[in-house]
Amino acid sequence: MTIEQYLYRLCRNIFYERFDWRKYLTTRSYFGRDLCVTPLHVSYGQIGYTIHFPCSRDPMPELAYDWEMNELTIDEENWQKWLADEDEEDDDSEDATPE
């Protein structure tokens, strides 16, 4: 599973409330990669959580889910746009032919 496929699966599970973030307050494996959740707090309580990958060999972005605003981001960018940009970059590199 590529990083993009992994992030897509994780984001879909978060978006459809299938990701049990409480299980990952300490580092645990999620589909073969270790991840850890940190709750997001403001003055009036918790509004979401961030997900980071402390033991990853590959550089992994940080995910944040704000359930108050119903907003899921990857590196502070909308998750769908971030994943779409990755797909476009892959398509561009495949279309490039050396001259």
Of 30, 39, 24, nearest to 10 (Cα)? Answer: 30
Of residues 85 and 33, the one with the higher pLDDT is: 33
Contact 49, 21 (CB under 8 A): yes
Is the residue at 91 inside a domain?
A: no
43 is written with which tokens?
A: 């003055």
What's the confidence (pLDDT) of residue 90?
53
Q: Is residue 73 part of a domain?
A: yes
**Hey, how many other C-beta atoms are within 10 angstroms of the C-beta on 16?**
8
Let me know if residue 24 belongs to a domain.
yes
Which residue is associated with the tokens 């704000």? 66
The verdict on residue 70 lying in a domain is yes
Furthest CA-CA distance within the chain:
60
Residue 52 identity: H
Number of domains the chain contains = 1
Q: What is the pTM of this model?
A: 0.78
pLDDT in tens, 37-92: 999 998 998 999 999 999 888 889 999 999 989 899 998 888 888 878 765 655 55
Domain that holds residue 33: 3-86
> For residue 71, is it within any domain?
yes
